[in-house]
Amino acid sequence: MHELIVSPFLGTHLVLRPGQPNAIRISRDKYAQLQSTGPDGLCPNWLSDAVIKSWRIDVSDRPLRDFAILRAPSLLGYGRASYELNMGCNYDCKHCYLGLKEFAGLEFAERGKILGSMRDAGVLWLQLTGGEPTIDRLFPDTYATAFDLGMMIEVLTNGSRLSNPAILDLLTSCPPHRVTLSVYGATEASYDGLTQRRGAYKSFIRGLSAAHEAGISLDLSIVITNDNCHEIDAMHALADGLGIKYRDYTKMSPTIYGGAETLTSQSLPHLTVSKPFTGCDAGHTSFHVDPHGRASICKVGREPNIALADEGLEGLHRLGGIADQLLRRQGGCSGCTLSAQCGTCMPLAAKYREADSPLDRYCQHKERR
């Protein structure tokens, strides 16, 4: 099993160690030297020196294939992707933007094709998500395949299965870049209330403790809603007590089908004004794949999309054009004089409009136009 990944990444060249946050940046020439050395060649001194300094592992005098995956350059030059394995979930959170959460995912052969296309497209950082990815029956095989292809993996999870020995074993033997756990409350009452599942808080605490004790790299996403906003300090204290980094999420979105049912969980006093949206690279340097293998520019702008398992790498050539079209201010926003101050990207604004959301949730205008 590899200990290091050497890969191009958006115009740079990196050496990474799964499970570790730091990276070594190398020059194009040094990357080319490793390529011409090939996997059977011995590790050059400059690399073994840098590796021992960064991670205290000795790779001197070892052939590259013994400890590293050397990723090839890609003509497409993507760097990141997210893969929604299955929208099914063991919870039914009031704020969940997935709406229906249908249990459906591809069989392993098609997932293998998708992951192969991601690798060939240049994806180095892969987010595995759901629904709840760890309840997907093919999660272990999918995760292990992505790891073996030389990707740095992040798993987004509610944490409910992290105390499962088989999952812990997988995540400790093939370390992810990080596991990000959502936090839905600091007590059983608020957590089980928001997730609409009795016992969810206990499962979360069990999973969090097990993963923390196993030394898995963790992050917390603290989701602040009507149900739990009185427990913000307690949620922060939980993270601080374990020394885990966290981010607060205070803005609830409509569902991916443009449904408004999630918006009632918004805690209005915590509705923050987003920074002006100045564009993003979705579709050009990153993309999203849904449980049916459809590649889209991101999790919000899901249409038009590309049948990645059928079309493979060729299909991804169209994604940049789709992104340019989707991110243009259009529809209800064309001609808006406040668009330069607006913090909402176009695909998300379209979902709010479909949901007939109050304007103050997403738009700079105070009154209906």
Report the residue number, 56 or 369, with the smaller CB distance to ligand SF4.
369
Q: How far apart are CA 129 and CA 131, in angstroms?
A: 7
Element (H, E) at 324: helix 319-327
Name the token pair of 277. Answer: 């949206």
Among 54, 336, 354, 358, binds ligand SF4 (CB under 6 A): 336
Interface stretch with ligand SF4, choices 25-33, 35-43, 145-153, 361-369 (CB under 6 A): 361-369
Report the residue number, 166 or 340, with the smaller CB distance to ligand SF4.
340
Report the residue number, 28 or 328, with the smaller CB distance to ligand SF4.
328
Min separation Cβ 263 and ligand SF4, Å: 14
From first CA to last CA, the distance across the chain in angstroms is: 59
Beta bridge partners of 4: 68
Our finding on whether 92 is near ligand SF4 (CB under 6 A) is yes
Cα-based angle 191, 247, 257 (whole degrees, multiple of 5):
70
Name the token pair of 309. Answer: 């398992």
Our finding on whether 85 is near ligand SF4 (CB under 6 A) is no
For the chain, what percentages of helix, strand and coil (3-state, to nearest 5) are there? 40, 20, 45
Interface stretch with ligand SF4, choices 171-179, 201-209, 282-290, 325-333 (CB under 6 A): 325-333
Interface stretch with ligand SF4, choices 2-10, 29-37, 85-93, 147-155 (CB under 6 A): 85-93
Our finding on whether 363 is near ligand SF4 (CB under 6 A) is yes
Site for ligand SF4 in 118-137 (CB under 6 A): 130-132
Report the residue number, 24 or 350, with the smaller CB distance to ligand SF4.
350
Site for ligand SF4 in 97-116 (CB under 6 A): 98
Our finding on whether 5 is near ligand SF4 (CB under 6 A) is no
Strand arrangement, sheet containing 152-157: 245-249, 218-223, 178-183, 152-157, 125-129, 80-84, 286-289, 294-296, 306-307
Our finding on whether 19 is near ligand SF4 (CB under 6 A) is no
Our finding on whether 176 is near ligand SF4 (CB under 6 A) is no
Name the token pair of 2. Answer: 């590899």
In sequence order, the 6+-apart residues with CB closer than 8 A to the CB of 29 are none
Among 167, 344, 345, 350, binds ligand SF4 (CB under 6 A): 344
Residue of 220, 225, 237, 148 whose CA lies nearest to 190: 225
Site residues (CB under 6 A) for ligand SF4? Answer: 89, 91-93, 96, 98, 130-132, 158, 182, 195, 329, 332-333, 336, 338-339, 342, 344, 349, 362-365
